[in-house]
Structure 1
Amino acid sequence: MTDEKLDLLLRQALNLEIADHDIQIDAAKIKSDRNTTSWKYWKHFPAAAASVAVLTLSSMMVCAAWHYLSAKDVAGKAADPHLAQEFEQNNWIDGCETQTYGDYDVTLLGVVSGNEISSHLSKDDSGNIDGDKTYVAVAISHSDCSPMPDPLNIGSDSVQFYVSPYIKGLDPAKYNISVLGVNNTVFLSDGIQYQLLGMDTIAAFAGQGIYLGVSEGSNYNPNAYLYDSASGTLTRNESFNGVNALFTLPVDPTMGDSEKATNLIDAMDHYESGGESTIILSEADLWLNSITPETISENAVPLESSRKTVSTDEFFQYTGNDVSNDSDTGSLILKEYFPDGTGMSEWMTRSGTSMEDAFVETYTLNKDGTITILKYVPNLNK
């Protein structure tokens, strides 16, 4: 099908005026077999291009699947503004690639790698910041547009997904996410599951080639992929009955570092488990993470019964800061809360296990030197 016909289908379905250059479809990858479909859509107009792909594959209605969050947005929902900026500026992926197997669409949203590119970094045993990391964002959705199950309430019969990088030339059964110190954040948004993984850097292997696999299960499944030990290549097992997406990452080979790669292999060989973590964000968590002084007016409503205006001394007492014998400490605390002077502080008290009991408490420095304390709650009528 030509680009012109694809464009015409899109205009008829969505009644949108879209320039031809905004749509680029890798038509060679669109196959007639619905169980082994792969296509790409690019960030000039992701919604439009994804809709085209859906229209060429079936007559189903365009649905939420083409409203994927960007990798930047995924990091933002995980309350990681530094990483969000990194995805926006240095994403390895120039757009998004979706692969469809069985009942699921798997979309690679972004990959970034670097030192101290996240707002949330831990320290190693020596007290040094453990910041040389790679981050991957993926989306998993049902192909028929039905919502994915809430990861907080997954039953024993629910499908789990194992997201992991693999290195060309290294046995994937041994060298995978399980030995890379992964921190995984999982959440559901508009019926689509998102996973944001942070791990020890894999950019050092850029000269060899890096894959990213998404397969069913909670561990590496040797039946999902075929590893050729002679050539070091990894391929999908076409006869595997389930999800076994495999992406080849378009990483710049000059990022490779053989010495660092050798050290990382040694670290993986001697990896001691226990540092991994998975955080599943609830709807309330996502709301709490979304609140900033810039977004609070559109995402929340003030709880007027909580409003109080206090002096700075009362504010110190309220927040548990004893500055009675040290005025300099009081000045430092005020500077920490209000570095830009008057206005709402970035510092907020956040609480809630559900949307019904969630709130953020804000602190605003007024021109007369007083401080207003005010809680905001979700706008459940929005």
Structure 2
Amino acid sequence: MKYDMDQLLKSALFSKEKPDDSLNQKIIRKFEEKEIENMRKRNRKISIPAAAMLAATVLAAGSASTYAAWKYLTPDQVAEMAEDQGLAAAFQSQDAVAINEVQEYGGYRITLLGIVSGRNLSEFLIEDEAGNVSMDRTYVVTAIENADGTKRPDTSSDDYGKDPFFVSPLIEGLNPAQHNIMTMDGSYFEIVENGIQYRIAECSNVEKFADRRVYLGVNDGTFYNNEAFQYEENNGSIRRNDSYEGVNALFVLPLDKSKADEQAAEAYLKSLDSEEKMQETEEENPEEKLDRQVASETSTWKIADFNEKTTLVHEIQLSPDEDGNFHFEYTIGKDGMSSAGTVYQELITDRDEEGLLKARSIFGEEDTVYIETYTLNEDGTLTLRTYQHK
């Protein structure tokens, strides 16, 4: 079966351009669980004849082009490797569009191979949060390569997933930080074949928005990156940030404008708004409510505020691993409450002038709440301090 996206990550980008502090804290913990990399993945390695892979033109950095991509698997072949014969047949049908557009940014070459949309195309339909089966879907296939010609790590390699990518349809007129694959019942299947990383990204059918420009954005990292793309609120357009040094490929999806449905699009957006409100008003248990209140109270605190208003109960120095991430595990309290996790490098950039990270972790039991903070030091180490809320 296919897995839908983790609800926590969906909430993180649902209504704000950046996850709020309490969500960041939970994300740090969830990152330690390998079940998520921004969406839950199924990975499978199946060999195919090497003769199917031929050389292709190498493009210059920052380029975009469309050409005969004999180097790559076709979208239906990728679907077959996912053991999804229904989707493979859909990519062989007249409704599918072969694109083969290439863009190269940040040391990676991204190829948009093809797209197909429709009802009941896949043999692996997923459920939304309400338990409803999502049958009307859009499927987009991309290929990701290292621009220097080296091979992408296989899915069985320890290096796989260390340089993640976020691949999502983006819709003109809708803020991409709020409306992307994470809020559109998205999921993906991914394989690596002959050093090329293939992804089938799927979400709710975007053809209803065909009367406006619909993009496919690809950026480095686990989440949608506001720095990689720029959203123009005055006209609703989305464009690449030319000064961004990482991956920020942006394709225009060739949708059939005759399939646009303004009423269906409006109803769909209302359903997303309704879902967000339900999440906001969902009844919290006392511990969750207390954690949320503490997170809100301390979100703007400086180190001096923590020293004045809380009690320091634990402090450790952490050194980064080879990827710049910080791992920790310790025990506090009379009952031996433990905390373990990883502070990932991408969260370290968001910090104040003292080095205190915006991301924090709130945890505890009953009326005892602990606040875990992380401060980046000048020597590159990280100080983890745990405070007990008074």
TM-score range relative to shorter protein: 0.5 to 0.7
Match of 2:220 in 1: 216
Shift of 1:142: 1.1
- 1:35 aligns to what? 61
Distance 1:193 1:156, change over 3 A: closer
For residue 161 of structure 1, the aligned residue among 165, 168, 178 is 165
Most deviating of 200-209 and 116-125: 116-125
What amino acid sits opposite 1:214 in the alignment? V
Asked if residue 252 in structure 1 is aligned to residue 278 in structure 2, the reply is: no
String of CA shifts for 1:356-381, please: whole Å, max 9, x gaps: xxxxxxxxxxxxxxxxxxxxxxxxxx
Which whole-Å CA distance do the structure 2 matches of 1:73 and 1:268 have between them?
Answer: 33
1:303-337, Cα deviation, whole Å (9 max, x unpaired): xxxxxxxxxxxxxxxxxxxxxxxxxxxxxxxxxxx
Deviations 1:216-236 (A, max 9, x none): 010010000111111111110
Contact 1:39-1:97 at 8 Å conserved across structures: yes
2:77 is matched with which residue? Answer: 73
- 2:172 counterpart of 1:172: no
**Separation in 1, partners of 2:108, 2:161:** 16
Q: In structure 2, how many angstroms separate the alpha carbons of the residues matched to 1:101 and 1:203?
A: 28
**Aligned pair 1:147/2:173, yes or no?**
no
Q: Deviation per CA, 1:192-244, whole angstroms, max 9, x where unpaired?
A: 01111221111100011100001001001000011111111111001101110
* Aligned partner (choices 90, 115, 121) of residue 111 of structure 1: 115
Amino acid at match of 2:213: G
Correspondence for 1:238 among 239, 242, 256: 242
After superposition, give the CA deviation of every residue in 1:249-289 in whole Å (9 maximum; x if it has no partner).
Answer: 11111111011101221233344799xxxxxxxxxxxxxxx
Change in 2 beyond 3 A, CA 1:119/1:100 = same
CA distance in 2, matches of 1:125, 1:87: 27
Cα 1:126/1:98, change in 2 over 3 Å: closer
Please tell me the residue identity of whatever aligns with 2:115: V
| Other-structure match for 1:187 | 191
Matched, 1:207 2:211: yes
Q: Pick closer, same or farther for the CA change 1:154–1:212 going to 2, 3 Å.
A: farther
The 8 Å contact of residues 175 and 268 in structure 1, kept in 2 or not, is answered as no
- 8 Å CA contact 1:203–1:256 kept in 2: the answer is yes
**Aligned-pair distance for 1:92?**
4.8
Instruction: Kindly indicate whether the alpha-carbon contact (under 8 Å) linking 1:80 and 1:120 is maintained by their aligned counterparts in 2.
Output: yes
RMSD (Å) for aligned C-alpha atoms = 2.7
- Superposition pairs for residues 1-382 of structure 1, below 5 Å? 34-42=60-68, 46-47=69-70, 67-90=71-94, 92-122=96-126, 129-155=133-159, 158-271=162-275
* Alignment: residue pair count: 223
- Aligned mates of 1:156, 1:141 — CA distance in 2: 13
**Conserved in 1, the CA contact under 8 Å of 2:163 and 2:220?**
yes
Query: Over alpha carbons, which structure has the higher Rg?
Result: 1
CA distance in 1, matches of 2:161, 2:275: 31
Partners in 1 of 2:246 and 2:180 — Cα distance? 20
Render the CA deviation track for 1:116-135: whole Å, top value 9, x for unaligned. 11111245688764311111
- Name the amino acid aligned to 1:183: S
Larger RCO (alpha carbons 8 Å, 6+ apart): 2
Q: 1:265 to 1:152 in 2, by over 3 A?
A: farther
Identity of aligned residues (%): 35
In structure 2, what is the Cα distance between the partners aligned to 1:92 and 1:233? 26
Counterpart secondary structure, 1:177: coil
Cα distance in 2 for residues equivalent to 1:115 and 1:194: 23
Q: What letter is aligned with 1:40?
A: T
Higher mean displacement: 135-144 or 260-269: 260-269
Residues 271 and 181 from structure 1, CA distance in 2 versus in 1: closer, same or farther, beyond 3 angstroms? Answer: farther
Q: Distance in 1 between matches of 2:131 and 2:61?
A: 49
Tell me if structure 2 keeps the 8 A contact 1:179–1:271. no
Gaps of 5+ in 1: 1-22, 48-66, 275-382
C-alpha displacement at 1:102, in angstroms?
Answer: 2.8
Give me the whole-angstrom Cα distance separating, in 1, the residues matched to 2:127 and 2:222. 27
Greater fraction helix: 1
Matched residues in 1 for 2:131 and 2:224: separation? 32
CA contact (8 A) 2:128 2:185 kept: no
